[in-house]
């Protein structure tokens, strides 16, 4: 397997403490026309008008064919170069308080298959494909994809502040649903930055290759609404029955990121969505309606169920989940803790995966699962004065959710 870290000029980096919620570094990248999609639409031939973005670190501008998107989690600290001897990440004691908070032990008892065989796409910075924690937990390599380098080796690349982000996100899904199959798809560089055109293609790829849950711990400003991404989400739900989980963002204010912002809105009254109805997207109103039903937006709380200072919030947020200091594998056989709505989202993806690994109660459809999960959360409004009605229906409770669907 190719060692992509060699291409970055740094084959190994020491894991050092990093600022919690550091600013995303926005770097220039260009859009490549992708030939892999077999969806019967023509959007690959035409993209929305280029948008100019300011690169925070250099105070210069870059022109992109799609909209910029970035990861929504940052490494908080690490234990250094702790090694794994097996692929078991289900019993990490470092996260015990979080597991208690979301009732994971009881949930895993209710779902003895632990998500066996359910394919979960992690659309992110890639993962460390060689980390022992992932042994036996990955989808077939024929399903893997790297849209940054244009190959089938979605290996994390060292050199940027988001190095290890996708590895962490994937491991969190695994810690909730230990027998899930992780489908790694790389759309963000090591600084955690990517192009929405690639993200749209990645969603297509994930759906076409059997992902039943698609996790996007990334986002862009709500103003950067993207018809290509919106159509990919709609088609993944309508044509392939996938469930979508979106991180709300780390703005610390009421500016929820796209695509999470569209989940609870009325898509057919949204002017930006209406613009997608014409060619080449032809996004019909009925297709948008499915986005509301089969996707979830997720914000973050701490271990005391207080809204995380960094978490985006607002009336259109659907739920929250723990997202601070979640421990897991880090590239190069190491371990680290990360914080962000990026970490809250895969806990929800894992919960859906546990449900999909079992026989659902008669009358319950797969598309019912997101609304049931949201409805079975624990309200935390009383613990968050000033944010009532702004942090979703409540905090993830996987036990309550599974008791309602089995």
In the set 71, 78, 201, 342, the catalytic residue is: 342
Cβ atoms of 63 and 52 within 8 Å: the answer is yes
User: CA 325 → CA 40, 74, 93, 230, 315, distances in Å?
Assistant: 42, 10, 13, 31, 26
Structural Rg of the chain based on CA atoms: 19
Residue 230: name the closest of 185, 282, 304 by CA: 282
Q: Do you know the residue count of the chain? A: 406
Neighbours of 74 (CB within 10 A): 23
Q: How far is C-alpha 234 from the chain's CA centre?
A: 16
DSSP code of residue 149: T
Residue 93's SS3 state is helix
Catalytic residue among 103, 124, 339, 349: 124
165 catalytically annotated: yes
Mark whether 342 is an active-site residue. yes
- Give the strand pairing for 119-124 and 213-216: parallel
Q: Answer whether the bond into residue 293 is a cis peptide, omega within 30°.
A: no
Query: What tokens appear for 273 in the block?
Result: 């969505």
103 is an active site residue: no
Q: CA-CA distance, 173 to 185, in Å (whole number)? A: 15
Q: Residues 128, 165, 295, 349: which is the catalytic one?
A: 165
Catalytic residue numbers read 124, 165, 342
């Amino acid at each position: 397997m190719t060692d992509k870290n060699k291409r970055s000029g740094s084959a190994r980096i020491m894991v050092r403490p990093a600022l919690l919620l550091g600013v995303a570094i926005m770097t220039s990248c260009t859009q490549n026309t992708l030939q892999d999609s077999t969806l019967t639409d023509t959007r690959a031939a035409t993209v929305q008008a280029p948008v100019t973005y300011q690169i925070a670190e250099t105070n210069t501008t870059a022109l992109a064919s799609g909209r910029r998107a970035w990861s929504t989690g940052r490494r908080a600290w690490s234990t250094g170069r702790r090694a794994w001897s097996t692929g078991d990440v289900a019993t990490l004691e470092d996260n015990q308080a979080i597991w208690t908070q979301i009732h994971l032990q009881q949930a895993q008892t209710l779902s003895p298959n632990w998500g066996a065989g359910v394919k979960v796409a992690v659309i992110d910075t890639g993962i460390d494909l060689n980390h022992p924690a992932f042994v036996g937990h990955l989808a077939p390599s024929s399903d893997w994809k790297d849209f940054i380098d244009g190959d089938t080796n979605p290996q994390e690349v060292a050199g940027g502040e988001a190095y290890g982000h996708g590895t962490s996100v994937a491991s969190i899904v695994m810690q909730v649903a230990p027998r899930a199959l992780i489908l790694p798809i790389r759309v963000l560089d090591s600084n955690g930055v990517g192009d929405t055109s690639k993200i749209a293609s990645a969603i297509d790829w994930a759906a076409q290759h059997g992902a039943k849950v698609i996790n996007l711990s990334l986002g862009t400003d709500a103003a950067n609404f993207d018809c290509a991404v919106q159509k990919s989400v709609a088609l993944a739900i309508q044509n392939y029955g996938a469930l979508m989980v979106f991180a709300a963002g780390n703005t610390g204010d009421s500016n929820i990121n796209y695509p999470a912002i569209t989940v609870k809105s009325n898509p057919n009254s949204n002017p930006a969505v209406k613009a997608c109805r014409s060619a080449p997207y032809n996004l019909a109103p009925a297709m948008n309606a499915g986005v509301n039903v089969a996707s979830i937006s997720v914000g973050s709380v701490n271990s005391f169920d207080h809204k995380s200072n960094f978490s985006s919030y607002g009336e259109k947020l659907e739920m929250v989940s723990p997202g601070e200091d979640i421990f897991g594998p880090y590239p190069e056989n190491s371990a680290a803790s990360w914080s962000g709505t990026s970490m809250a989202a895969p806990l929800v993806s894992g919960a859906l995966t546990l449900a999909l690994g079992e026989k659902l109660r008669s009358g319950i459809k797969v598309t019912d699962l997101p609304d049931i999960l949201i409805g079975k959360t624990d309200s935390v409004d009383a613990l968050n004065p000033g944010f009532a009605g702004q942090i979703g229906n409540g905090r993830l409770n996987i036990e309550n959710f599974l008791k309602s669907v089995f």
